[in-house]
Amino acid sequence: MAEQRGVEQRVGVCNLCEAMCGLVLTIEGDRVTGARGNPEDPLSRGHICPKGVAIGDVHADPDRLRRPVRRDRATGEWTEIEWDEAFDLVADGLARVMNEHGRHALGMYLGNPNVHSLGSMTHGPALVKALRTPNTFSATSVDQLPHQLLGHLMFGHQLLLPVPDIDRTSYFLVFGGNPMASNGSLMTVPDFPTRLRELKARGGRMVVFDPRRTETAKVASEHHFLRPGSDPWVLLAMVRQLFEDGTAAAPSYAVGVDAVREAVASFTPERAEQHSGVPAGEIVRIARELAAADGGVAYGRVGVSTHEFGSVCQWAINLLNVLTGNLDREGGAMFTSPAIDVVGTGLVGRGGHGRRHSRVRGLPETANELPVAALREEIETPGEGQIRAMLTLSGNPVLSTPDGARLDRALAGLEFMAAVDIYINETTRHADVILPPTTALERDHYDLVFHLLAVRNTARFTPAVFPKERGARHDWQIYRELALRVTDRLRPRARLVDRLKLRARMSLSPTRLIQVLLARGGSGATLTRLRKSPEGVDLGPLRPGQLPDRLRTRDKSLDLAPALVLEDLPRLDAAAAPADDELLLIGRRHQRDCNSWMHNTERLTKGRPRHQLLMHPDDLAARGLADGATVKVTSRVGTVEVDVQATEDVMPGVVSLPHGYGHGRDGVRLGVADQVPGVSINDLTDPERLDVSGNAALSGVPVTVA
């Protein structure tokens, strides 16, 4: 194909969600003028979604920060400053507060895009470690903490997460996930629609449990409405059924099966029906179908991890897979064999729980961080140990964490705040200084996390599509500079040898590190080979028979009955049955949204509005409300006013709002996003509602609508 002058085709990658699609980009000068899926990519096979098409918009966005900015606290005005001055200001600000009040006076928050950037993955943990504050928080505790906790407790490592073998399964049982919109989570599954069609063509079935008839529910073989929050009842009744039927079989390396049998005995299908609304007979039938399937898998995602019993749910899902013989089996729940194994090599720690506690509420840490639902009170509550300065790294907790409105006010009262982010948004508007890194297209990429969670073993290295602009910094360079300049100012000063070690560790580029790790991994996918095949290298389907070797528990046993979860069952047992007139709020994701950002591109925000509160027509009628009216939604923590839309896609007693909306606040200057209608669901979610892991229970919030 003859190329036009100045027009080039380049292989790229989309880092906007976990599907990590391979792209072919059309480049004209410093612009992306076209993006399509790369058919040569062995994992994504040509898939792309509307967000991938818009990936160049971030690079071109005139509202994106390209230089550090400083906020004048008196006038609120932002001024661009030089990098050196910006680094010094941030290091001075953070170190001053820490020297005066102690290490804990610094709070850190790491947002979702950290896991989508190679440099953040390789250099972020070192920055967190260097600043040595016990007050670290992240988006993990509004997302997948129950998965990590159960990975740690059952398999011995927080990232040892079994992945549905979607390409070979014959029975896919889904609780609280909407891969048709989200493109999969903790299951990197680009091109879910085609994979699902293939599953059905093989004679397989997908069964979905969700309080909303989602895009995924609509293409499922069966969809069952269930009351938000009631999944543990249904799941435990299914586990119980396996024992009743005598089909429950534990592998030789598993311990605790008797304790499980005893623990689930009282969770009958009839009680599950009372709590969930799902007929007992259906629960029994589906448990039997999963047990009988030739390669079946149960899977649960955000809808059951942002839950008051998220850990019980993830435990029960693991049990369903283990006891039906589907763990570590083709078509079941399998472990990947990535070219760089962050689990096997110990690059990421095993995880843990309860080794320290938050100051105000005494909440236990999980995986070395505190629940972000406790961040606001740690800033607001005076006394020894109070957070007085914040550093946020690519996150927007004002829109993404419970009672965001109050966190918003708390951030305004900090002595100092700095952010590493590419926008002035609802959270970073409170920063004194914002340090903007290069964006995805300007940096090399290798996915350290999502190859580990993918439905097929592949490896891919994507060199930067654009050179970085003069004077721009990569995130890892910003992290290095912050680590070095802050530790230099902390008293007592670290030993010289430790400071030199830190400098050496943080000066190695991410790409160089990847090169070493790939060579050490022994998969044959070396950096040289990957550079020659930018579409990626296929390492084959997921491999069965890895257990017990792959377990990271000390004795290589699989713990079916972790005490922490068993001890939470009486709390579930005592939960009240649903009230007749209750209204429970759940979230939702739209294919064109990307959490709270990517709203500054018209390509993704134009068209029919999608911010409305979804409500069943019967619930509207019962309150004398009309479709399209502006309604007041009130929870224990707040009230929002939003347009309501009648739909039979939500079950009666359930209302739904998307998260990541609620732009247009004071001091934020985003040309397009500020015009996007909608409110923040997290002005209604309640930081008091928590799972044992510390994950916020964002789903199933009791509300009234008037």
Residues of the shown chain interacting with ligand MGD in the complex, contacts defined by CB under 6 A = 17-18, 111-113, 117, 139, 142-143, 175-179, 181-183, 185, 209-212, 214, 226, 228-229, 231, 301-304, 306-307, 394-397, 400, 420-423, 425, 437, 439-440, 475, 586-591, 593-597, 659-660, 681-682, 685, 698-700
Determine what percent of the chain falls in helix, strand and coil, rounding each to the nearest 5. 35, 20, 45
454 binds ligand SF4 (CB under 6 A): no
Shortest CB 16 distance to ligand SF4, Å:
4
Question: What is the gyration radius of the CA atoms in the chain, in angstroms?
Answer: 25
Q: What is the C-alpha separation between 607 and 521, in angstroms, rounded? A: 47
Nearer CB in complex with ligand SF4: 51/353: 51
Answer whether 108's CB lies under 8 Å from 136's CB. Answer: yes
The CA distances from residue 449 to 294, 417, 444, 452, 454, in Å, are 29, 29, 15, 5, 9
Nearer CB in complex with ligand SF4: 34/125: 34
Which entry of ligand SF4, Mo ion, ligand MGD, none binds 20, CB below 5 to 8 A by partner kind? Answer: ligand SF4
Q: How many residues bind ligand SF4 (CB under 6 A)?
A: 12
Nearer CB in complex with Mo ion: 143/403: 143
Which entry of Mo ion, ligand MGD, ligand SF4, none binds 439, CB below 5 to 8 A by partner kind? Answer: ligand MGD
20 binds ligand SF4 (CB under 6 A): yes
Element (H or E) spanning 645, and its range? strand 639-646
24 binds ligand SF4 (CB under 6 A): no
458 binds ligand SF4 (CB under 6 A): no
Span of 11-19, 119-127, 207-215, 364-372 interacting with ligand SF4 by CB under 6 A? 11-19
Phi, psi of 540, deg, nearest 5: 95, 170
Q: What is the C-alpha separation between 442 and 32, in angstroms, rounded? A: 12
595 binds ligand SF4 (CB under 6 A): no
DSSP reduced 3-state for 583:
coil
Please identify the residue of the shown chain whose CB is closest to the bound ligand MGD.
Answer: 303
Shortest CB 15 distance to ligand SF4, Å:
7
Q: What is the C-alpha separation between 220 and 339, in angstroms, rounded? A: 33
Place of tokens 């896919």: 172
Shortest CB 143 distance to Mo ion, Å:
4
Find, among 640, 663, 652, 580, the residue nearest to 614 by Cα: 652
Q: DSSP string covering 589-626, please?
A: --TT-BTBBS-S-HHHH-SS---PEEE-HHHHHHTT--
Q: DSSP string covering 92-129, please?
A: HHHHHHHHHH-GGGEEEEE-GGGGG-HHHHHHHHHHHH
- For 261, other C-beta atoms within 10 Å of its C-beta total 18
562 binds ligand SF4 (CB under 6 A): no
Which entry of ligand SF4, ligand MGD, Mo ion, none binds 509, CB below 5 to 8 A by partner kind? Answer: none
Find, among 55, 98, 84, the residue nearest to 477 by Cα: 84
Site string for ligand SF4, 188-207 (x = CB under 6 A): --x-----------------
Q: Which of 42, 51, 228, 679 is close enough to bind ligand SF4 by CB under 6 A?
A: 51
Find, among 289, 243, 159, the residue nearest to 551 by Cα: 159
Shortest CB 11 distance to ligand SF4, Å:
14
Q: Which of 11, 24, 43, 49 is close enough to bind ligand SF4 by CB under 6 A?
A: 49
Shortest CB 174 distance to ligand MGD, Å:
8
Q: Which residues are at the interface with ligand SF4 (CB under 6 A)?
A: 14, 16-17, 19-21, 48-49, 51-52, 183, 190
